[in-house]
Amino acid sequence: MQRLPAETSDRIATSAYRAKKQLAELTGKADDDDVNPHVPDFIAKAPWWADTGNGAAPNMAHQRKDTSLKSTINQWYDRGTAGPAATKYRKGACENCGAMTHKRKDCVERPRRRGAKFTGKNIAADETVQAVPRDFDAKRDRWNGYDPSTYKQVVDEYEAEEEARRAVREAELAEKKIEEKKKEKAEDDEFGSDDDEDDVPEAQYADQADQVGQKFDTKTRMTVRNLRIREDTAKYLLNLDPESAHYDPKTRAMRDAPEVGKKAEDLRFAGDNFDRYSGDATNMQRLQLFAWQSAQRGHNVNMHSNPTAGELLHREFNEKRNVLKDTTKQSILEKYGGEEHLERLPAELLGGQTEHYVEYSRTGQVIKGMEKAKARSKYQEDVYVNNHTSIWGSWFDRDSSAWGYACCHSLVAGSYCTGEAGKMANQASSAQALLDTKGEEEEEEEVPVKSLVELHRERMAKGEVVNKDKGKEKATSDFASYDDDPEAIALDKSRLKAAVAAEKKRKALGEEEAWEASKKAKQDVTKEELEAYRLSRQAFDDPMANYQDES
């Protein structure tokens, strides 16, 4: 089948589209989802996962934003409870309050000791949960669901208070006018009236003058300012540098001084902290701290209700504390002494300031002036004994790994110095010792190593081996020895047995009797007695050491 050119196919599609439009105009039915023939298929055709509801007909509904399910900003949804509460617990409800519309972790009621699941009482009503799909503006509306009619109650309360305040104020002004008229009438009757002067009482302008920022006093006939003068420069305009002191526009606070590098008396504004830590502000802080600490200890001290009593108590407390501090200090000085160390030294000695001029070179040598004296310790230094020119420990002999004197290479502490002759003798002895050590090592290498069989045969020939046959011991000699160690000490069995018996008798005696017996005994200790003491010594780590058979 022959394929048509692209231009021919576009013309056919355009003519078909025009024919469809003409048919829609004749029938009066317009289809908004008609697809332009020039739109590609991958855009005109909806994907398989998009449910357009129009079957397989091509349209552009899937390319449009669906706003049918979204509510506008003017739509509200219900809130609160829905109907009466249940009388018994229902399966799947909140274990705490018993409502079906949320779970226990989402419950906003107070956690009960025993929830409604177990008690079945005080079950809360179900809330109205309405799923309202909202658009972009409705989601971000902070007043969504608010009823403005509920604010009318607040407005009515404020209006009623203002009306009552206005009535009281008018009554007070009327009373003041009546009193002033009576006073003026009495003055006129006493001194006579002067009709030539047109005096207008200032009290009638009191209501107009009593505005924000001014306070009119009818007695003194003067206006008092309680706002800053407009000619004064604001604190945040004293220094326009953004890196200067921080200004908080909400509280109008500037803690630090905005102008840096000026004297305190030249500053137009020293900062809010200047007032906080100057004058009597610190004293008030100490008084308040004293009141809090006294209240913690059970004393009734309050700086707001009775400041005079609090200040008197604080003054009495400071006097007693100073007396106690001085008494304690004096008692310590009387007991241990050292009052001379409390005297303050002059400033020159404390700071180490002197007028000595010293110049140093790059290598650290003194060029001009006197070098600073080195600090000496409290111990004796450079003290040499026995004609030595160096101290003990100034030289280390690597051959013998020992310390000695550097002047004579002597390794004996407290020896007499022999000078260079001692060094030569020490070198000669070290060389001879090194040769002897090498000779011994060579001799040891020449001695053949004997096997275990040869060593066993030599022991049997000397009679040092104990033979064991079927659980019976047969000694080849009258001495006992250790088979594992060829250099073990041989012991006489008969003497060892007698020594063990004597050691048991000695331990059976009391402490005083054992002490007296030890005084009379001989001073020399034999090998058998030492072995008997070792065998009879109690092993404290033995768990069966204190075991006693009760049967």
Instruction: Give the CA distances from residue 225 to residues 207, 269, 321, 491, in Å, rounded to whole numbers and listed in that order.
Output: 16, 20, 47, 119
Question: Has residue 239 been placed in a domain?
Answer: yes
Task: Please name the residues in contact with 346: beta carbons below 8 A apart, sequence gap of 6 or more.
Answer: none
Q: Two tokens at 434?
A: 């090194």
Listed residues 63, 89, 108: the one ending a domain = 63
- Statement to judge: residues 383 and 326 lie in one domain: no
Q: Which of 404, 443, 449 is nearest to 427 (CA)?
A: 404
Question: Has residue 523 been placed in a domain?
Answer: yes
- Statement to judge: residues 249 and 327 lie in one domain: yes
Number of structural domains, the chain? 4
- Given CA atoms 211, 214, 217, 222 in this order, what sign does their dihedral have? negative
The alpha-helical segments, DSSP class H, found in 192-226 are: 206-209
User: H or E element: which one contains 215?
Assistant: strand 214-217
- Given CA atoms 111, 112, 118, 123 in this order, what sign does their dihedral have? negative
Separation of alpha carbons 262 and 239, rounded Å: 13
Q: Helix, strand, or coil here: 510?
A: coil
User: H or E element: which one contains 43?
Assistant: helix 41-44
Mean pLDDT by 10 residues, the chain (551 residues): 60 72 55 67 80 62 72 70 85 93 92 93 88 78 80 92 94 91 80 49 48 49 54 85 89 89 86 85 89 88 87 92 93 89 75 75 83 73 84 84 87 85 81 66 59 76 58 44 48 82 78 66 72 73 67 56
Question: Has residue 284 been placed in a domain?
Answer: yes
With beta carbons less than 8 A apart as the criterion, state whether 259 and 241 touch: no
- Statement to judge: residues 439 and 494 lie in one domain: no
- Statement to judge: residues 274 and 327 lie in one domain: yes
With beta carbons less than 8 A apart as the criterion, state whether 303 and 291 touch: yes
Q: Which of 414, 416, 395 is nearest to 406 (CA)?
A: 395
With beta carbons less than 8 A apart as the criterion, state whether 496 and 480 touch: yes
Angle, vertex CA 297, rays to CA 293 and CA 298, nearest 5? 120
With beta carbons less than 8 A apart as the criterion, state whether 407 and 417 touch: yes
With beta carbons less than 8 A apart as the criterion, state whether 113 and 81 touch: no
Task: Note the pLDDT of residue 39.
Answer: 82
Question: Has residue 126 been placed in a domain?
Answer: no
User: H or E element: which one contains 368?
Assistant: strand 366-368
Q: Two tokens at 513?
A: 């009797």
Separation of alpha carbons 92 and 72, rounded Å: 34
- Statement to judge: residues 421 and 501 lie in one domain: no
Separation of alpha carbons 6 and 13, rounded Å: 11
Question: Has residue 463 been placed in a domain?
Answer: no
C-beta contacts of 251-260 below 8 A and 24+ residues apart: none
Q: Which of 81, 83, 89 is nearest to 116 (CA)?
A: 89
Q: Hunting for tokens 């331990």 — which residue is that?
A: 507
Per-residue burial over 474-495, b = 16 or more CB atoms within 10 Å of its CB, e = otherwise:
eeeeeebbeeeeeeeeebeeeb
The strand pairing partners of 253, in sequence order, are: 248
Question: Has residue 299 been placed in a domain?
Answer: yes
The alpha-helical segments, DSSP class H, found in 192-306 are: 206-209, 272-276, 281-296
Domain that includes residue 433, residue range: 379-446
Q: Hunting for tokens 């610190």 — which residue is that?
A: 282
Q: Hunting for tokens 């070290």 — which residue is that?
A: 430
Instruction: Give the CA distances from residue 224 to residues 111, 217, 229, in Å, rounded to whole numbers and listed in that order.
Output: 58, 8, 12
Question: Has residue 340 been placed in a domain?
Answer: no
With beta carbons less than 8 A apart as the criterion, state whether 287 and 276 touch: no
Task: Note the pLDDT of residue 23.
Answer: 59
- Statement to judge: residues 240 and 322 lie in one domain: yes
Separation of alpha carbons 335 and 329, rounded Å: 10
Task: Note the pLDDT of residue 200.
Answer: 44
Task: Note the pLDDT of residue 475.
Answer: 43
Per-residue 3-state assignment (H helix, E strand, C coil) for 153-195? HHHHHHHHHHHHHHHHHHHHHHHHHHHHHHHHHHHHHHHCCCC
How many C-alpha atoms does 400 have within 13 Å on its Cβ side?
Answer: 17
Task: Note the pLDDT of residue 48.
Answer: 79
Q: Which of 366, 344, 346 is nearest to 356 (CA)?
A: 366
Model confidence pTM above 0.75: no
Per-residue 3-state assignment (H helix, E strand, C coil) for 379-429? CCCCCCCCCCCCCEEEEEECCCCEEEECCCCCCCCCCCCCHHHHHHHHHHH
Task: Please name the residues in contact with 340: beta carbons below 8 A apart, sequence gap of 6 or more.
Answer: none
Listed residues 43, 63, 83: the one ending a domain = 63
Phi, psi of 192 (to 5 degrees): 90, 155
- Statement to judge: residues 326 and 385 lie in one domain: no
Q: Helix, strand, or coil here: 467?
A: strand
Task: Please name the residues in contact with 474: beta carbons below 8 A apart, sequence gap of 6 or more.
Answer: 466, 467, 468
- Statement to judge: residues 246 and 325 lie in one domain: yes
C-beta contacts of 412-420 below 8 A and 24+ residues apart: 414/385, 414/386, 415/386, 416/386, 416/387, 417/386, 417/387, 417/388, 417/389
Chain centre distance of CA 77: 47
Task: Note the pLDDT of residue 160.
Answer: 94
Separation of alpha carbons 198 and 196, rounded Å: 6
Question: Has residue 408 been placed in a domain?
Answer: yes
Task: Note the pLDDT of residue 205.
Answer: 47
Listed residues 40, 63, 86: the one ending a domain = 63
